[in-house]
Amino acid sequence: MKTPSKNTAYLAMIFIVATAIVVYFMPGDNKHKYTYELNRPWNYDLLTAPVDIPVYRDSATVKQMIDSIDSELIPIYRVDPSAKARVTAVITGGAGLSDATRRRLIDLIDKIYEGGVIDAKTAAVIADGELPEVKCIVNNVNVSRPTDAFRSQRDAYAYIDSVFRDSQERPAIQALNLSNELNPNIIEDAKATHQYRESLIQPIVAAVGVIQQGERIIDRGDRVSPQLYQVLKSYEQALEKLGRQDRNRQVYTTLGHILFVLTLFGLLYAYFGYNYPATLRSVKKMLAVVSLMVVFFLFSVAMAKNITSGLYIVPLAILPIVAQVFFDARTAFFTYVLEVLMCAVMASFQLEFIFIELLAGSVVIFSLRELSKRSQLLRSASLAFLSYVVGYVAIELMSAGSLTAMSGRLVGYFAINAVLISFAYILIFVIEKMFGMTSVVTLVELSDINNPLLRELSTECPGTFQHSMAVSNLASEAAHKIGANVQLVRAAALYHDIGKIDNPAFFTENQYGINPHDALSPKQSARIIIGHVTDGIKRADKYKLPSVIKDFIYQHHGAGKAKYFYIREQQQHPDETVDPTPFTYPGPNPQTAEASLLMMADAVEAASRSLTDHSEAAIKALVDRLIDQQVADGYHNESPLSFRDVGLIKDTFIKRLRSMYHGRVSYPPEVKKK
C-alpha cells in the first residue's frame, strides 16, 4: 500500500505531466483566427488592418499559374564550341585520308555542328514533338532556336556514313572512330533553366497589393467573395508571421497557457479532495480521470487543426458518460465542464462552442441515471445529436436572425459525433482493464442471480443465499437514502459470504437440526467461522471478481470478534485470561460508507432472525443496540459516515425489517352449507 507522501508525489507527477502535454499542444495566439467560408456571410464584427498587410494570390491560383509556366517553359541550352574542335582535330591528325576527303569531311562536320548535335535524351523529347524550340545563350542573351535541324550523335554519324560511300574512303573514315568522337555541342543548362523559371514565378508569388493600416477589410454580413477570401488569408498569414517574430508575446502567451491549465487541474484536484478524498488517494483512479481528459484534448487539437469546425466531431460527451459510470453524475458534470473549457481555446466561436457542448453533455448526463444496458447509450447519443442541433439553431437565430447561414456540414459533424458517443461502451471496457476500475455496468452484471457463483451459493448454501439477498435489499435501500453507491452495495452484499460455500453446515442459517460445532472446541469453531473471509477471497480470485468486491469480503466483519465462541471460551476457562486473537477477524475495518452499510446490514439481518417479537419497538431496540455497539467499538472510525447518515440508516433498517416481518391476516375457515 502506498504511503501518503508517495501518493502525493505520484499525483503531483500526474498533474505536471498532464499540464506539460496540454500546454505543448495548445495552439498559440488565437485572437486573429476566424472561421469563414467562400461565398458565405461574414459572422464577425468589422475587421480592419492593424498594420500594413501585403495581399497575395491564393494558393490555388498560384499553383495554376505555375503549372501553366511549367507546361510552356522552354529550356535553356548552351553551345559548346570545343565539341566541334575536338572532332576536327581528330580528322586533321587522322592517317589514310586524302586531302580532298579530309577537306570534305571537315566541311561536313562544320555543317553538322552548325545545325547542332544533341544527346539521345533530348533527341527523344524532340521526336515526341514536345520541344519544337529551345533557348540558347548567345553573348549572354537567350535566343530562341528551332530544333528541327538538331541531330543526335547517332544520327550525325549515320549522316556522315551516308555521304562517304566510296569503298576507298570508308575504311579510313571508320578508322577515325567518329561515332565516339561526335559529342553534343548543344547542352542543356539546368541552372540557367531554373533561374529563368524562378524569374517567371517571382511575379506570381509576389504581393499583388497592400492593405493599409486602419483600412476596412470586411464587416458583419458581407459576403466572403474570392477576392476577400484571399485578403483574409493574407491577413491571417501576416499576423501569424508577426506573432512568431514577437518573442515577448510568445513567452507571455505560454505563461498564460500554463496558468490556465494549472487552474483547471487545480480545480479538479480540489473537487476530489473536498468531495471524494478516497478517490484522490487512489493514484489509478486519478490517473484514469486525468488521462481521459488529456486524450480528448489531443483528439480535439487534431480535429481543429485538420478540419474546419472539426471540434464538433470530437465526442466530448463520452467523458461525462465514463465519469458517471465509474463515479457519479456530479463528478461527470464537473469534469466535463473543465474539459469543455480546456478545449474551448481552439474554438473560433468560443461562446457558441461552450454553450452547445454543455447543453449536449448535460442532456447525456440526465439521460443516464444508471447505465445498465447498451441500448441506453443509443438513446443518449440520439438525445446528444438533438441537443447539438437545437443549440446550433439557437445560436444562429440569436446572432444572424435567420437560418440561411446554417451549415449542413456542421449538422453532419454533429451526426458523426453522436455515432462516436454510442461507442462509449468500448471505452468503458478498456478503462476497466487498464486501470482496474469497476463500472456500474459490471456491477449490474454481477448482481444477476443467474451468475454461476451466485447459483453455486444458492445450491450449496440456500440459507446464506437468502441472507445475502436480504442484506442486499437492506443495504441498497439505506445507500439510496444517504446518497451512497447503491449498485455497488447491492452487488457486494450478494457476494460477501461466498466463503461459506466451503463449509455450509457450520453456519446457522444452513443447519437443519444438527449443529457440528457441538463436537468442536470454541477455538476450532471460531477458526472455521472466521475462515469464511479468507475462503471467500480465494473463491473471488477463482471467479475473477473485481477488487472492489473483494474489499467488501475483507471488511464486512472488520476486525471484530466471533463473540459467541469467544464468550464460550471464557466460560470454559473462567480462571484464565483468554487470548482474543484466535477469535478476531483479519479485517480491516470498513474504509468506505458502502462497506460500513454492509457491516451494519449483515449484523442486523442475521440478528433479526432470532427475534420472537417483531413489533416496531423490538426491531428498533435491536437495530439501535447492534449499530450503536459497532460505533462504540470503533468499527466505523475509518468510514466517512456522519451521525446523520447513521440515523438515516437506522430508520431505513427499521422500516425495511417491519415490512419483512409484518403480520399477515388470518383467513377464517370456509362455512359449508348443510
Q: Give the model's pLDDT for residue 651.
A: 94
Bridge partners of residue 54, in order along the sequence? 210
**pLDDT one-digit tens code per residue, 416-459:** 999 998 888 888 888 888 888 888 778 888 888 888 999 999 99
Q: Report the C-alpha gap between 244 and 227 in whole angstroms.
A: 26
CA 213 to chain centre: 43
- Asked if pLDDT for residue 303 goes beyond 50, the answer is yes
Amino acid identity, position 55: V
56's CB contacts (< 8 A; 6+ apart) are: 62, 205, 206, 207, 208, 230, 233, 234, 237
Alpha-carbon gap, residue 156 to 128, rounded angstroms: 19
Q: The cell 458581407 sits on which residue? A: 222
pLDDT tens-digit profile of 17-75? 999 999 998 876 544 466 677 777 776 667 777 777 777 777 778 888 888 888 888 88
β-bridge mates for residue 53, sequence order: 211
Q: What percent of the chain has pLDDT over 90?
A: 31
Q: In 3-state terms, the chain is what percent helix, strand and coil (to 5)? A: 65, 5, 30
| Dihedral angle computed from the Cα positions of residues 61, 67, 68 and 70, in that order, rounded to the nearest 10 degrees | 150
Residue-wise pLDDT for 205-241, tens only, equals 887 777 777 778 787 777 777 777 877 877 777 777 6
Closest CA to 309 of 33, 114, 81: 33
What the block records as the C-alpha cell of 308 is 474546419
The pLDDT tens digits of the residues spanning 93-148 come to 877 778 888 888 888 888 888 888 888 888 888 888 888 888 887 777 778 888 88
The predicted structure's pLDDT at residue 556: 92
- Of residues 543, 450, 448, 531, the one with CA closest to residue 497: 531
- Tell which phi-psi region holds residue 146, choosing left (phi > 0), alpha (psi between -120 and 50) or beta: beta
Residue with cell 458523426: 416
Rounded Cα–Cα distance for residues 539 and 496 (Å): 11
Return d(Cα 353, Cα 341) in angstroms, integer: 9
Quick one: pLDDT band at residue 1, thresholds 50, 70, 90?
Answer: very low
Rounded to an integer, what distance in angstroms lies between the CA atom of residue 546 and that of residue 549?
Answer: 6
Q: Residue type at 53?
A: I
Pairing mode of beta strands 133-138, 141-146: antiparallel
pTM: 0.61
User: What pLDDT digit, counting tens, does each position of 565-601 carry?
Assistant: 888 888 888 888 888 888 999 879 999 999 999 999 9
What SS3 class is residue 271? helix
With CA atoms as reference, report the closest residue to 284 among 590, 638, 2. 2
Categorize the per-residue pLDDT at 371 as very low, low, confident or very high, splitting at 50, 70 and 90. Answer: low
Average per-residue pLDDT for the chain: 85
Closest CA to 270 of 484, 24, 11, 23: 11
Name the more confident of 261 and 55.
261
Q: Coil, strand, or helix at residue 279?
A: helix
The burial of 143, by beta-carbon neighbours within 10 Å (0-12 exposed, 13-18 middle, 19 or more buried), is given as: exposed
Question: What residues does 102 pair with on adjacent strands?
Answer: none
- Mean pLDDT across the stretch 521-541? 91
Closest CA to 172 of 104, 96, 99: 96
Q: What does the block give as the cell for 353?
A: 462552442
User: What are the DSSP calls for 126-183, one per residue?
Assistant: HHTTS-SEEEEEETTEEEEEESTT-EEHHHHHHHHHHH---TTTHHHHHHTTHHHH--
Please give the Cα distance from 54 to 207 (Å, whole number): 6
Identify the bridge partners of residue 118 per DSSP, sorted by sequence position: 152
d(CA 462, CA 501): 10
Nearest to 23 by CA among 252, 244, 256: 256
Question: Rounded to whole angstroms, how far apart are CA atoms 356 and 393?
Answer: 10
Angle, nearest 10°, between helix axes 424-435 and 318-326?
50
